[in-house]
Chains A and B, each alone.
Chain A
Amino acid sequence: AAGVIQSPRHLIKEKRETATLKCYPIPRHDTVYWYQQGPGQDPQFLISFYEKMQSDKGSIPDRFSAQQFSDYHSELNMSSLELGDSALYFCASSLYARQATEAFFGQGTRLTVV
């Protein structure tokens, strides 16, 4: 079965640079979530989209922005990168239901800011 695809898998950027992470959800899933996981930390919710509209916002810095496109893929744009942005960035997708359903995660993008 198709899973959530994230690209790139690894990314190295310098401070103050910009990074774009991409996420392709499971086909027919209408909701995408972005999470950030620092070293030794639990994943922290950043932002989510339902049917291409932002549905919820967590602890996402103002330097970050995201959107979901007409084909349901999503991109997380990160500007003015800081060393503390080094983390694993996960995308997850689900099929929205009032009672909620399982969220399936991609393999993540490991961002290293040097």
Chain B
Amino acid sequence: SQQGEEDPQALSIQEGENATMNCSYKTSINNLQWYRQNSGRGLVHLILIRSNEREKHSGRLRVTLDTSKKSSSLLITASRAADTASYFCATDAPGGGNKLTFGTGTQLKVEL
């Protein structure tokens, strides 16, 4: 079974709108990271949030982490067509040697 599950699986919005993606996980974590992947391309690291952090910002990205609910959200503000991609959360567990367990991903489409 997957450590991380994301919803929605697919999201379609208009340029300029905000996009929110959620990720849930099952076990305790050290950190949670968000990645972006354009179709068939490499995974681009977006942001890392540690288990003792609740919110983090990077440019148009805002990530929240609720360890009590074992969930995280990624908010992209003022979306652009170039934000069209799949977004994955990935967690690493204490004592897990830093290996990442990925969620199922959200496919975001930003339309002009």
Contacts and interface: CB of A to CB of B under 8 A. Distances in A.
Contacts of B42: 90, 105-108
How large, as a class, is the contact surface on chain A?
20 to 34
Contacts of B45: 102-105
Interface string B88-112: 1010100011111111110000000
A95 B33 CA distance: 15
Given A103-B45, A110-B40, A48 B98 contact: yes
> Interface residues of A: mostly helix, strand, loop or mixed?
strand
Residue from the set A33, A56, A105 with the largest chain B CB neighbour count within 10 Å: A105
Given A101-B48, A103-B33, A105-B45, A42 B97 contact: no
Interface string A94-114: 101001111111111010000
B97 A56 contact: yes
B99 A108 contact: no
Contacts of B101: 45
A48 B99 contact: yes
Nearest to A103: B100
Nearest to B86: A42
Contact of A100 (B92, B102, B105): B92
A55 interface: yes
Given A105-B35, A107-B42, A100 B98 contact: yes
